[in-house]
Amino acid sequence: MSKTYFDETHCAIGHPKSTFMQWMLTIDHKRIGIMYAAVMFVFFFVAVFTAFAMRLELFAPGGQYMDGNTFNQAFTLHGVIMIFLFIIPGIPAIFGNIVMPLMIGAKDVSFPRLNWFTFWLYIAGCCIALASLFIGEGVADTGWTFYAPYSMNTGTNVIMALVAAFVLGFASILTGLNFLVTIHRLRAPGMTFFKMPLFVWGIYATAWIQLLATPVVGITLVLAILEKYFGIGIFDPAKGGDPVLFQHLFWIYSHPAVYLMILPAFGIMSEIIPTFSRKEVFGYRTIALSSASIAGIGYLVWGHHLYTSGMSDIAKTVFSFLTFFVAIPTGVKFYDWVATMYQGKIVLSTPMIWALGTIITFAIGGITGVTITMIGMDVHLQDTYYTVAHFHYAILGGVVFLLFAGMHYWFPLVTGKMYNETKAKIAFYLNFIGFNLLWFPMFIAGYYGMPRRYFDYLPEFEIYHQLSFYGAVIFIAGLIYMFWVLFKGWTKGEATTPNPWNATTLEWHLPSSPPPLENHSKVPYVDFDPYEYKHGEPVVKFNYETMQRID
Amino acid sequence: MGHEYVPEIAIDRDGNQHEVQGWQGDFYGGKLGFWLFMLTEVMMFGAMFLALAYYNSLHPQDFLDASAALNRLLGGTNTVILLVSALTMGLGLLRMRAGDVKGAKLMIWATIILAVAFLVIKGFEWTAEYHHGIFLMHDKLLPESSLPFGQKLFYGLYFSMTGLHGFHIIIGIGLMLWLLKRINAGKVSPEHHILHWNIALYWDIVHLIWVFVFPYYYMIGADGIQMSDFSMIFGGGTNGHH
Ligand code: HEM
Ligand SMILES: [Cu+2]
């Protein structure tokens, strides 16, 4: 058997003998992607268990296990980890690294050493965030948004959390920069922009947001740090500063950041749907361009987070109006996916059912998002569990579910093994049922006025919190089971061929599975569209020795 | 690695050959990457200018008053220094591309000296302001002082932005020293000067930002400028505080 990227690697410094050091120093994009995945899922579970602790506390009214302050720190820790350590870097860092270069026929990203450096910068950011747990008065209690002036006055360790977020943001910028140059420079000959797989389009749009939006939040965090250290008074009303300015600057980044999470996830969806419908994707160009326009419009709508913070009525109306526009390209994508499935030869493998499940959950997340775009509704629902349910449906039921879908889809590519289909499907149903039971009751509770970020509540909300608790138990069990099935697949699963799904994009046309160190041992000339099927069979076939077409 | 990179060839259906772009030695990619990085710097300072413009619109008179008290002589001198340093940096790159490595090194050294001069002058300026009770966490900028809100905000942003800009100058000096080391080691040469190119671009952005910082902070309050201000140049006055 030929050597794979598990057997040999390039390193940033020298050629260390030990396998461990080879992993620490590797500059191979596939290995770096795997390392990101490993670290991120550890944090994901830390945050899940923090959330579970909150759910336990909320099981009954009154205080049980923690007091209000601890609860404040718990949801901040949960939010900060989930947002900054896990889901913002998530899909780009994992699959952008592992498969994007393979999809465009590149041997690696444009700056492999920078990629290595970025990974360690990310780790440094994580360490700073964790250190804030133990240093000073403990982890911040401000919520992941760090709103001034409270964050300027609380005694908890906000500074470290801010520094961590800044460092992680820097890592995000460098990742986006690396991907932009890679996509511009390293596409295989013949691959025009409109011959790129749709996941690459998702990563491309995302990379622009990373590059243009992250510096704005970066400097906002720096100003907040300077304010806390040197008392410059930009956000603190006691010195004439304006706390709403903080919210503006924060959301100018953080709203686009939600597209930064969802666009690559949509990219995964756009890969899975045509592959398992065995059909050319419907409306390739509209899907590609809708990613770009979501990224563009997403830049102009941050104000919908400030309806209740004091803004002129005209500004509110304009922001509300603009926000509705984001729904259009998003809707276009959904129609294109459904149209792709129409009359397709649908194969219900695990990645496909994850994708189908996500269409349902993300639709709920999206539609409830449109309701709170309306100013009147939002004034009622802002900071209630309705909003909490909305963003968990959108982020967890949209982005994270598609991340899981991608994990199953590219599993054979990364590991060269196959997981157990039946067990993986059971894991999906556990997750899906648990998830809905966990979050759906919260729409109702929120509608009736259950506020978010409270550790105590009126007895009438008990039933919703209890349903939610049972949902959380099922969901977390499903998560653990899913990872266990994948782990077993990796260690004990059957070996697969390079293209088990009959997929068409370049990352499946590799000489071996798992891929060799430098990917396509020979780069093909790309004169075909990314998803060409005829009678349910891929059209394009290669001779893997010469990478010339033989169809 | 270390071995020479030989570009690969992809062959299309008609047997035509197409060169594959590798990541190794991609001069154009290196340039593109650094341009994108500079774009993030622009976004970052842009956000601060946004905050500045916002507070300026809230407290126009305070801003003018505070600006009038800054030392335009030192600020102006620094502007000239930085403009000249941008010139030397650019000339250095031209020398390098023309194959004159020695001349290029000389120009980089000149840039470094100018950058240090900039920092020294900035140091004098901040010290003088400190002695006038205008400094972070100090005297007039404390919450309980009676200085108007607008002025406190102005100075807060002034120290933040000139401080951050000065930090960029320090990084620039470091980068230039590193560049000299790479040139001496033969890693940067007329045939392979992407590093030189990018550091020159960095220096351009740093001076460009200053070109916006200077008028916004030092010049807006300058309409009351008087001959006596100029007489300081000759009369040995040290700063413009009235
Ligand atoms: C097992 C899955 C999860 C559970 C049980 C869970 C539970 C919770 C709970 C109970 C809260 C506090 C609500 C409040 O009192 O306002 C919360 C807040 C939050 N969750 Fe989750 N969550 C889960 C997964 C996620 C994921 C995957 C993400 C994002 C990637 C996420 C992002 C957030 C954010 C941003 C907040 C707001 C924190 C804040 O208010 O500062 N959660 N979650
Ligand atoms: Cu938003």
Task: ipTM value, please give it.
Answer: 0.90
Calculate helix-pair angle for A158-185, B27-58, nearest 10 degrees.
Answer: 140
Query: Does position B218 have pLDDT exceeding 50, yes or no?
Result: yes
For residues A304 and A384, the answer to whether their CB atoms sit within 8 Å is no
Establish, for the pair of chains A and B, how many residue pairs have beta carbons separated by less than 8 Å: 144
Predicted confidence (pLDDT) per residue in B83-111, tens digit = 999 999 999 999 999 999 999 999 999 99
Assign residue A61 a region (left: φ > 0; alpha: ψ between -120 and 50; beta: otherwise). beta
Question: Which protein residue's CA is at the shortest distance from atom 12 of ligand 1?
Answer: A75
Q: Is A427 helix (H, G, I), strand (E, B) or coil?
A: helix
If phi > 0 it is left, if psi is from -120 to 50 it is alpha, else beta; for residue B135 that is: beta
- Chain B residues with CB inside 8 Å of A177's CB? 33, 36-37, 40
Residue that the structure tokens 């909320």 belong to:
A58
Q: How would you classify the pairing of strands A542-543 and A537-538?
A: unpaired
C-beta atoms of A249 and B51 within 8 A: yes
**Before A215, cis peptide (omega within 30)?**
no
Chain A nearest C-alpha distance from B156 (Å): 5
Give residue B70's Cα distance to chain centre.
19
How many angstroms separate the Cα of A328 from the Cα of each of A288, A325, A335, A370, A422? 14, 5, 11, 11, 37
Can you give the pLDDT at residue B143?
A: 82
Does an H or E element contain B19, and which?
A: strand B17-19
Average pLDDT over chain A, rounded to an integer:
94
Ligand 1 mutation target, pool A44, A70, A75, most atoms within 8 A of CB? A75
A470 neighbors A161 (Cβ within 8 angstroms): no
Position A1 scores a pLDDT of 54
Mutational test site, ligand 1, from A71, A78, A358, max ligand atoms within 8 Å of CB? A78
Which residues of B are less than 8 Å from A218 in CB distance? 44
What pLDDT does B2 receive? 43
Give pTM, 2 decimals.
0.92
* Confidence band of A133 (pLDDT split at 50, 70, 90): confident
Where residue A120 falls among pLDDT bands split at 50, 70, 90?
A: very high
The rounded Å distance from CA A376 to ligand 1 centre is 25
pLDDT tens profile A69-101: 999 999 999 999 999 999 999 999 999 999 999
Q: Are A365 and A398 in contact (CB under 8 A)?
A: yes
Least confident of A137-141, A343-347, B78-82, B238-242: B238-242
Closest residue to atom 4 of ligand 1, CA basis: A51
Centroid of ligand 2 to alpha carbon of A213 (angstroms): 13
Domain ranges of chain A: 19-549
Q: Return the ligand number nearest the Cα of A404.
A: 1
Query: Mind giving me the DSSP string for A189-228?
Result: TT--GGGS-HHHHHHHHHHHHHHHHHHHHHHHHHHHHHHH
**In the predicted structure, residue B13 carries a pLDDT above the cut 90:** no
Query: Could you tell me which residue, A544 or B230, shows the higher pLDDT?
Result: A544
The number of the ligand nearest the C-alpha atom of A307 reads 2
Among 3.40.630.10, 3.30.300.20, 3.40.50.620, 1.20.210.10, name the CATH number for the domain at A19-549. Answer: 1.20.210.10
